C-alpha cells in the first residue's frame, strides 16, 4: 500500500555494461536485481544500460522489442518502477530514450534533449524536445539523461512540479568533478531529491567510468554514494520532510520567471 506520507524506496544500480550486448546485460541485471523483489519502489539503471554509449545500429531496440519486454517482466517481478535509458530506432531515426515501466506494464518515455556533441551523439541520435514527469506512488519524478545535467534551465523545477529528479548517465571519469558538483547543484536549486546513476568500467571506445552514482537530498547532502564499486544500494526518501523544508525555505517564491523557447 502507498500513501501520501509513505517513504519512497529508491535503488541505485551501478555496474559495468557489456558493450553492445543487450542479452548479456539483461541476463546480468536479472541476476543482480532478484533480491529487490518487494523490497524497493524505484529501480534506477544507467544510461544505455543494454548497450553502452555507442553510436551505431548495434543493439538498437525497435518497437517494443526484447529489452522493453524484459523491463516489463522485471518491473512486475520486482513490484517496482524500473527506469533507465536505451538505444531506440523509430521511423529510421535513433533516440537515446529514458524509459520507465511500472509493475502493471505501463510505460512512459523521454527522449534525451541535450545530445553530447563532443562524443558525436548529435550526429547519430535525434534530440527530444518534451519534458517528462512521471507520477508514481504520490511522487512526481522528472526524467533526465546524462548531458541534460549541465543545463539548469531544462532541469528547472517550475512551480515545484517534481519531487525527485533522476539523471541516468554514462559520464566519463575524466569529468567526475563536474558530475559530482552538478548533481548537488540541481538538488539545492530545485528543492528536490536528485538521483544520478552512472556506470563503471571501460566501454568499447576505451572510455573509463568511475561511477559516483548518488542520491542527494534537497539540502545537497549525500544520502547514498556508490563510489567506484559494482553495487546496488537502496535508500528511503521522505516526502513530508521535503514538503516541510519547502515551506520553511521557499526559495521557489523568489525564482526568476522566464519563458522557455525550444
- Residue of 112, 113, 131, 239 marked catalytic: 112
- Residue of 20, 121, 146, 239 marked catalytic: 146
- Residue of 47, 61, 121, 131 marked catalytic: 47
* 184-218 per-residue burial string, b: 16 or more CB within 10 A, e: under 16: bbbbbbbbbbbbbbbbbbebbeeeebbbbbbbbbb
Backbone angles phi, psi at 98, to 5 degrees: -75, 125
Cα(155)–Cα(190) distance, integer angstroms: 8
- Catalytic, 47? Answer yes
What single DSSP character describes residue 192? S
Q: Print the SS3 string covering 145-156.
A: EHHHHHCHHHHC
Q: Print the SS3 string covering 79-118.
A: CCEEEEEEEEEECCEEEEEEEEECCCCCEEEEECCCCCHH
Collapse the DSSP code of 216 into the 3-class scheme (helix H, G, I; strand E, B; otherwise coil) and give the result: strand
Catalytic (active-site) positions: 47, 112, 146
Amino acid at each position: 500500500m502507498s500513501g501520501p506520507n509513505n517513504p519512497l524506496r529508491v535503488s541505485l544500480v551501478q555496474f559495468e555494461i557489456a558493450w553492445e550486448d543487450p542479452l548479456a546485460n539483461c541476463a546480468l541485471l536479472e541476476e543482480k536485481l532478484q533480491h529487490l523483489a518487494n523490497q524497493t519502489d524505484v529501480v534506477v539503471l544507467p544510461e544505455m544500460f543494454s548497450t553502452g554509449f555507442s553510436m551505431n545500429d548495434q543493439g538498437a531496440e525497435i518497437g517494443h522489442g526484447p529489452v522493453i519486454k524484459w523491463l516489463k517482466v522485471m518491473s512486475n517481478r520486482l513490484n517496482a518502477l524500473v527506469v533507465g535509458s536505451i538505444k531506440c530506432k523509430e521511423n529510421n531515426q535513433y533516440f537515446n530514450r529514458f524509459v520507465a515501466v511500472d509493475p502493471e506494464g505501463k510505460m512512459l518515455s523521454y527522449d534525451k534533449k541535450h545530445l553530447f556533441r563532443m562524443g558525436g551523439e548529435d550526429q547519430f541520435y535525434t534530440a527530444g524536445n518534451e519534458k517528462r514527469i512521471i507520477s508514481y506512488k504520490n511522487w512526481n519524478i522528472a526524467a533526465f539523461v546524462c548531458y541534460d545535467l549541465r543545463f539548469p534551465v531544462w532541469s528547472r523545477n517550475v512551480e515545484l512540479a517534481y519531487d525527485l529528479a533522476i539523471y541516468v548517465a554514462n559520464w566519463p571519469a575524466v569529468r567526475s568533478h563536474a558530475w559530482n558538483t552538478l548533481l548537488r547543484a540541481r538538488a539545492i536549486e530545485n528543492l528536490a531529491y536528485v538521483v544520478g546513476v552512472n556506470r563503471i568500467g571501460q566501454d568499447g571506445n576505451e572510455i573509463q567510468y568511475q561511477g559516483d552514482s548518488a542520491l542527494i537530498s534537497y539540502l545537497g547532502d549525500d544520502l547514498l554514494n556508490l563510489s567506484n564499486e559494482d553495487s546496488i544500494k537502496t535508500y528511503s526518501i521522505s516526502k513530508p520532510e521535503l514538503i516541510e523544508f519547502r515551506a520553511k525555505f521557499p526559495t521557489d517564491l523568489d525564482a526568476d520567471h522566464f519563458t522557455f523557447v525550444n
